[in-house]
């Protein structure tokens, strides 16, 4: 999905692969202000960078190129000019990477849908690209040695399967195409809409249901789609409406042979890959190793799946505090978890985590362990400093952004916590995103 508007010129429907090699490179300006949007430049692509693009240089000026792969010689069309770099789309490929493939989605092309980044690479290369980004983030932002990073990430990026049709939540915009209204998504870094009728990462049942729903919907509104244990759920939000989504979606996880049901709004947060939520809960339990009678904090708890798992293990003699800022998520956690835990083993608190750490947490006993699933920007210094000051024996971070995880790793090292273990999953195939779980232990407890 896009994150900012961008000036964009007309581009072809996809990069043309030219096996004869690049054309002769011509002299080009050396300063960003001398380039224009739409200008074509010849570059040799270097390594992958975080965000779904690749680094190249043109007259020593950094160019972030999409639709390319490492080592390729390409013709790229400039799409954005910054004070220190350019953005561009590869429109002709002169020497193709051996793992380049033809994308299955007709909307994946320069100027096309911004939802996917790596659909032109096979699955093995996609995971290798994500591993490179994770390693770079732990080394540069995390300030870990290269040897330590390689040791921590030697298992690579794990494959969760469902390489297509994995996205169980989507938010489409409706647009008119000829005489029909169809589902659309935005182009990369643009408000321009692209026909998404053939999206390959959306759950096929939910996508088909949303597509039929769009036919009878007005142009310009949003169609929200989610797939739960009962099948697809859709809701329409009119353009410029202040209405919030009302429909709810049910999800289940298993903890120690118990099945738990959680509900979120159709536009609320739940892991979009059908296997990821269960995988995260199992990993957190294995690494946290919560014991009866212990005290744990679950920060950024959502509707409470990890809190439920922790409370199941610590039992009536232990206690779990789940902190979440969303009022709906807190109500749902209280409704569902309150029926299972009738004693003092679980408290659900509605609060901003940063403020809770600075104020209300002071009245809580020191936790034996802390789990946090912060937003994409990471937990940040105030939260991490406050948590480290309470000296939990284990600290687990669930991270959806490797650069943010790197920053948090460096901050925790300042406060005496070392990254002991990390694992990552390719839970979002064809995109640049990955999901990571990291275990931190007090440095003085590590031999």
pLDDT in tens, 237-295: 998 888 888 899 999 999 998 899 999 999 989 999 999 999 999 999 999 999 999 99
Determine the pLDDT at residue 137: 98
Q: Are strands 222-228 and 169-177 parallel, antiparallel or unpaired?
A: antiparallel
Number of residues written out for the chain: 447
**Residue 29: band (very low, low, confident or very high) from pLDDT cuts 50, 70, 90:** low
| Cβ density class 206-216: b for 16+ within 10 Å, e for less | bbebbbebbee
pTM reported for the whole predicted model: 0.91
Comparison of pLDDT for 48 and 14, the residue scoring more? 48
pLDDT the model gives residue 242: 80
Q: Confidence band (pLDDT; 50, 70, 90) for 395?
A: very high
pLDDT computed for residue 5 by the predictor: 32
pLDDT at 37 over 50: yes
Determine whether domain 1-100 maps to CATH 2.40.50.140: yes
Beta bridge partners of residue 12, listed in sequence order: none
User: What pLDDT shows up at residue 21?
Assistant: 44
Q: Residue-wise over 32-43: b if at least 16 C-beta within 10 A, else e?
A: eeebebebebbb
What's the per-residue H, E or C state across the chain? CCCCCCCCCCCCCCCEECCCCCCCCCCCCCCHHHCCCCCEEEEEEEEEECCCEEEEEECCEEEEEECCCCCCEEEEEEEEECCCEEEEEEEEEEECCCCECCCCCCCCCCCCECCCCCCCECHHHHHHHHHHHHHHHHHHCCCCCHHHHHHHCCCCEEECCCCCCCECEEEEEEEEECCEEEEEEEECCCCCEEECCCCCCECHHHHHHHHHHHHCCCCCCEEEEEEECCEEEEEEECCCCCCCCCCEEEEEEEECCEEEEEEEECCCCCCCCCCHHHHHHHHHHHHHCCCCCCEEEEECCCCCHHHHHHHHHHCCCCEEEEEECCHHHHHHHHHHHHHHCCCCCEEEEECCHHHHHHCHHHHCCCCCEEEECCCCCCCCHHHHHHHHHCCCCEEEEEECCHHHHHHHHHHHHHCCEEEEEEEEEECCCCCCCCEEEEEEEEHHHCC
Whether pLDDT at 356 is above 70: yes
Decide if pLDDT at 359 tops 90: yes
Confidence (pLDDT) at 241:
82
What are the pLDDT digits (tens) for 98-128?
999 999 999 999 999 999 999 999 999 999 9
pLDDT at 9 over 70: no
Position 142 scores a pLDDT of 98
* Mean pLDDT within 82-96: 96
For the chain, the average pLDDT equals 92
pLDDT at 10: 33
pLDDT at residue 12 is higher than 90: no
Other beta carbons within 10 Å of 275 = 14
Domain 248-445, CATH number (from 3.40.190.10, 3.40.50.150, 2.40.340.10, 3.10.20.30):
3.40.50.150
Identify the band that residue 169 occupies on the pLDDT scale cut at 50, 70 and 90: very high
Q: Please compute the mean of the pLDDT values over residues 313-324 and round it to a whole number.
A: 94
How does residue 27 score in pLDDT terms, banded at 50, 70 and 90?
Answer: low
C-alpha R_g of the chain: 23
Kindly indicate the confidence band of residue 55, based on its pLDDT and cuts at 50, 70 and 90. very high
Is 394 in contact with 418 (CB distance < 8 Å)? Answer: no
Residue 23 has pLDDT above 50, yes or no: no
With contact defined as beta carbons under 8 Å apart, do 47 and 54 qualify? yes
Give how far Cα 37 sits from Cα of 6, 32, 33, 343, Å.
Answer: 10, 11, 11, 63
Lowest mean pLDDT of 16-30, 62-76, 231-245, name the range: 16-30
Q: Please state the domain extents for the chain.
A: 1-100, 169-237, 248-445
Q: Is the pLDDT of residue 345 over 60?
A: yes
> pLDDT over 70 for what percent of the chain?
92
pLDDT of residue 133 exceeding 70, the answer is yes
Find residue 5's DSSP bridge partners: none
Distance, CA of 357 to chain centre: 25
Find the range with the poorest average confidence among 22-26, 103-107, 371-375.
22-26
Q: Is the CB of residue 327 less than 8 Å from the CB of residue 350?
A: yes
Q: Which of 113, 116, 199, 400 is catalytic?
A: 400
> pLDDT confidence of 343, banded at 50, 70, 90?
low
Q: Assign 202 a pLDDT band (cuts: 50, 70, 90).
A: very high
Strand 222-228 and strand 231-237: the pairing is antiparallel
Percent of the chain with pLDDT over 90: 83
Q: What is the pLDDT of residue 344?
A: 76
Residue 387 has a pLDDT of 98
Catalytic (active site) residue 116 = no
Separation CA 320–CA 325 (nearest Å): 17
First-to-final CA distance of the chain: 44
pLDDT of residue 410: 98
Name the least confident of 28-37, 62-71, 289-298. 28-37
Average pLDDT on 12-25 reads 51
């Amino acid at each position: 999905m896009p994150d900012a508007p961008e000036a964009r010129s007309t581009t072809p429907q996809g990069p043309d692969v030219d096996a004869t090699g690049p054309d002769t490179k011509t002299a080009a300006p050396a300063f960003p202000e001398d380039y224009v949007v739409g200008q074509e430049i010849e570059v040799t692509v270097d390594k992958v960078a975080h965000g779904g693009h690749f680094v190249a240089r043109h007259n020593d000026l950094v160019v972030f190129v999409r639709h390319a792969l490492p080592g390729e010689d390409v013709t790229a069309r400039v799409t954005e000019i910054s004070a220190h770099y350019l953005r561009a789309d590869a429109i002709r490929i002169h020497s193709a990477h051996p793992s380049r493939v033809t994308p299955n989605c007709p909307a994946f092309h320069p100027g096309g849908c911004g939802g996917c980044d790596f659909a032109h690479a096979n699955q093995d290369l996609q995971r290798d690209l994500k591993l490179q980004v994770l390693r770079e983030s732990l080394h540069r932002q995390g300030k870990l040695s290269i040897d330590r990073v390689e040791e921590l990430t030697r298992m690579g990026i794990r494959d969760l399967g469902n390489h297509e049709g994995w996205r169980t939540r989507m938010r489409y915009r409706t647009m008119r195409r000829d005489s029909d209204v169809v589902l659309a998504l935005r182009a990369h870094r643009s408000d321009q809409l692209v026909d998404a009728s053939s999206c390959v990462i959306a759950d096929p049942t939910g996508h088909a249901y949303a597509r039929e729903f769009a036919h009878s919907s007005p142009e310009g509104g949003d169609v929200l789609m989610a797939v739960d244990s009962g099948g697809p759920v859709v809701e329409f939000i009119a353009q410029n409406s202040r209405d919030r989504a009302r429909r709810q979606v049910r999800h289940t996880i298993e903890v120690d042979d118990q099945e738990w049901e959680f509900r979120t709004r159709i536009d609320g947060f739940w892991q979009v890959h059908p296997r990821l939520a269960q995988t995260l809960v199992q990993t957190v339990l294995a690494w946290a190793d919560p014991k009866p009678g212990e005290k744990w904090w679950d920060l950024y708890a959502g509707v409470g799946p990890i809190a439920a798992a922790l409370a199941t293990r610590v039992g009536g003699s232990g206690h779990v505090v789940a902190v979440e800022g969303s009022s709906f998520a807190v109500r749902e956690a209280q409704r569902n978890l309150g029926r299972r835990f009738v004693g003092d083993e679980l408290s659900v608190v509605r609060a901003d985590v940063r403020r809770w750490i600075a104020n209300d947490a002071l009245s809580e006993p020191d936790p034996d362990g802390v789990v946090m699933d912060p937003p994409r920007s990471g937990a940040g210094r105030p939260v991490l400093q406050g948590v480290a000051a309470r000296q939990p024996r284990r600290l687990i971070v669930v991270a959806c952004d490797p650069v943010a995880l790197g920053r948090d790793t460096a901050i925790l090292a300042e406060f005496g916590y070392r990254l002991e273990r990390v694992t990552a999953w390719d839970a979002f195939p064809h995109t640049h995103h990955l999901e990571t779980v990291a275990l931190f232990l007090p440095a003085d407890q590590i031999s």
